[in-house]
């Protein structure tokens, strides 16, 4: 059977293989023309970005990792702003920008960001730099595959600006971070520190460097200027960046037997629907419908549409461009008939594990136990220790991209390690087991766990886990609650829970 394509599922492999280009990293506006005249000399638009980060400590969610100084790249754009990668400036307490050729570092603040396609806009406190550093010229067109490309930035290995050259090797629609969008692949050498730097074809910007493929050489990725423009347009309107998508899963029609089973002629084209996220009776699409066109653009047997001669991309490319009143016009083949339908779009999928997206984790400490939530951010942390989690059949791995089974579902994680305390004597649990139930009551989410412990009048509390071969923990409830203050004092922890859980614990 033809391979199943799930363009909206962020797989474990995707989480582990995308590597941001961050040097030193550790585990609106008045509307203006985007080009704004532009600078023919990219070096006059280039800045080096310095950021002081305090990343979350997922093993100790009540705390943060030590401050780390990281660097990236950026560029001056129209509107007296600076464009860079979001991952360069997320979790920052201080951001400085240093224009190319200047020794002065200017304080800046993050005024807009989009995790979906990893872009951010900075605004320096001292805007006098814009008199000497004009905005970069932004291309209106996608580059052709094979076009020579030059990437500018400040990668590790020196203090001065660097430029690497290569060619555009691929243009495709892919899943960034729960956002389906265009991405450019280049074979120019990219290294930590290049993130946020401009990539030019000729003297115009065609993309922003943001990552490389892991375990490969000279495969780098750019956010195309088409996506940059969409982001900046949303920022100019004071709107949150939107990434509408089709809430369906499909597979290709390359296989002849599959086409015959569906009653299609050999020349039949399109994508066949294999799963619908929506189960309402009047939903305009049905399982086994063949999507043959989006708007006026025909879809081929590989699910691709022609963007321009020689360039075909996934049909999802046209979703944000054709959406109107929350719907996209499509043509489907159903029972041998050709139908015109208006398909509702959706936002980011409601998955059980979500990204932190620049925030810090929620947590709850009771006695020697720390509970938190399984975030997508845990996956890169686990990449070097996958075997124990696979052996335990941990839901952290098996449900990493799974949809929520019910509204508000979370995987509640147990501690990275138990705190030392006499009531925990004889107990041992591996890092991050997933809590299944307390006194036989299934735990829906972290807030629910807080409610269960708050409202319990049982003499004992029994904690059971989803993970295989992880021992259950039984505590005297009153001893468990009384020991919390001792644990906090012994470990110099200020609060037993994150601020978002305090009203629940207090019954408010």
CA distance 462 to 443: 12
Residue at 380 is within a domain: yes
Condensed to tens digits (0 to 9), the pLDDT of residues 126-144 reads 998 899 999 999 999 999 9
Is residue 450 left, alpha or beta, with left meaning phi > 0 and alpha meaning psi from -120 to 50?
alpha
Residue at 204 is within a domain: yes
Q: Which of 399, 412, 506 is nearest to 463 (CA)?
A: 412
Catalytic residue among 39, 90, 118, 421: 118
- The verdict on 137 and 189 lying in the same domain is yes
- The verdict on 314 and 371 lying in the same domain is no
Catalytic residue among 195, 292, 372, 394: 195
What's residue 34's pLDDT?
A: 35
- The verdict on 147 and 184 lying in the same domain is yes
Domain count, the chain: 3
Residues in contact with 401: Cβ distance below 8 Å, sequence separation at least 6, in sequence order: 9, 10, 11, 12, 351, 353
- The verdict on 150 and 291 lying in the same domain is no
Model-level pTM?
0.86
- The verdict on 339 and 373 lying in the same domain is no
What's residue 35's pLDDT?
A: 36
What's residue 23's pLDDT?
A: 63
- The verdict on 176 and 271 lying in the same domain is no
What's residue 1's pLDDT?
A: 31
Residue at 338 is within a domain: yes
The CATH number of the domain holding residue 308 is 2.30.42.60
Residue at 52 is within a domain: yes
* Final residue of a structural domain among 283, 313, 344: 344
- The verdict on 306 and 340 lying in the same domain is yes
The CATH number of the domain holding residue 64 is 2.40.10.120
Residue at 60 is within a domain: yes
What's residue 28's pLDDT?
A: 30
- The verdict on 129 and 202 lying in the same domain is yes
- The verdict on 30 and 126 lying in the same domain is yes
What's residue 21's pLDDT?
A: 65
Q: Which of 76, 189, 182 is nearest to 138 (CA)?
A: 76
- The verdict on 206 and 263 lying in the same domain is no
> Starting from the edge strand earliest in sequence, which strands make up the sheet with 363-366, in order?
363-366, 369-373, 412-413
The CATH number of the domain holding residue 369 is 3.20.190.20
Structure tokens at 423: 């009531």
- The verdict on 302 and 198 lying in the same domain is no
* Final residue of a structural domain among 178, 205, 236: 236
* Final residue of a structural domain among 314, 344, 374: 344
- The verdict on 291 and 208 lying in the same domain is no
What's residue 30's pLDDT?
A: 27
Residue at 241 is within a domain: no
Residue at 352 is within a domain: no
Q: Which stretches of the chain score pLDDT less than 70?
A: 1-40, 215, 266-268
Residue at 452 is within a domain: yes
Structural domain harbouring 418: 363-505
Is residue 456 flagged as an active site residue? no
Is residue 87 flagged as an active site residue? yes
Cβ atoms of 303 and 318 within 8 Å: the answer is: no
């Amino acid at each position: 059977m033809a391979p199943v394509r799930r363009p909206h599922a962020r797989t474990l492999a995707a989480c582990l293989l995308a590597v941001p280009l961050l040097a030193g990293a550790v585990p609106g506006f008045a509307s203006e023309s985007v080009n704004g005249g532009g600078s023919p000399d990219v070096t006059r638009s280039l800045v080096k970005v310095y950021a002081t980060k305090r990343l979350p400590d997922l093993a100790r969610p009540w705390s943060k990792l030590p401050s780390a100084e990281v660097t990236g790249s950026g560029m001056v754009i129209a509107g007296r702003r600076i464009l860079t990668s979001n991952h360069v400036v997320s979790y920052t307490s201080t951001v400085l920008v240093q224009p190319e050729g200047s020794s002065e570092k200017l304080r800046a603040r993050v005024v807009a960001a989009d995790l979906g396609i990893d872009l951010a806009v900075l605004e320096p406190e001292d805007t006098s730099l814009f008199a000497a550093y004009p905005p970069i010229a932004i291309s209106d067109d996608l580059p052709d595959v094979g076009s020579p490309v030059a990437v500018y930035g400040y990668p590790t290995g020196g203090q001065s600006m660097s430029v690497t050259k290569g060619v555009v090797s691929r243009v495709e629609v892919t899943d960034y971070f729960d956002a389906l969008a265009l991405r450019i692949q280049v074979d120019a050498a990219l290294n930590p520190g290049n993130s946020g730097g401009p990539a030019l074809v000729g003297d115009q910007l065609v993309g922003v460097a943001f990552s490389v493929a892991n375990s490969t050489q000279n495969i780098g990725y750019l956010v195309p200027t088409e996506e940059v423009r969409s982001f900046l347009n949303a920022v100019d309107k004071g709107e949150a960046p939107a990434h509408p998508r089709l809430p369906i899963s499909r597979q290709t029609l390359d296989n002849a037997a599959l086409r015959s089973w569906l009653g299609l002629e050999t020349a039949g084209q399109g994508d066949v629907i294999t799963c619908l996220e929506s189960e309402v009776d009047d939903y305009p699409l049905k399982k086994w419908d063949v999507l043959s066109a989006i708007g006026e653009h025909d879809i081929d047997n590989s699910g691709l549409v022609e963007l321009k001669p020689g360039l075909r991309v996934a049909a999802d490319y046209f979703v944000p461009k054709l959406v109107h009143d929350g719907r996209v016009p499509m043509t489907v083949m159903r029972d041998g008939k050709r139908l015109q339908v208006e398909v509702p779009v959706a936002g980011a999928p409601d998955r059980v594990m979500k990204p932190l997206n620049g925030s810090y984790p929620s947590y709850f400490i009771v006695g020697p136990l720390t509970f938190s939530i399984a975030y997508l951010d845990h996956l890169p942390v686990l990449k070097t220790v996958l075997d124990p989690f696979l052996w335990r059949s941990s839901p952290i791995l098996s449900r990493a991209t799974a949809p929520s089974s019910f509204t508000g579902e979370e995987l509640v994680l147990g501690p990275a390690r138990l705190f030392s305390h006499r009531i925990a004597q004889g107990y041992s649990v591996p890092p991050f087991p997933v809590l299944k139930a307390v006194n036989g009551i299934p735990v829906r989410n972290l807030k629910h766990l807080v409610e269960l412990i708050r409202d319990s009048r049982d003499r004992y509390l029994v904690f059971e886990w989803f993970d295989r071969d992880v021992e259950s923990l039984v505590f005297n409830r009153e001893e468990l609650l009384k020991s919390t203050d001792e644990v906090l004092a012994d470990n110099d922890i200020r609060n037993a829970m994150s601020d978002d859980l305090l009203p629940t614990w207090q019954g408010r």
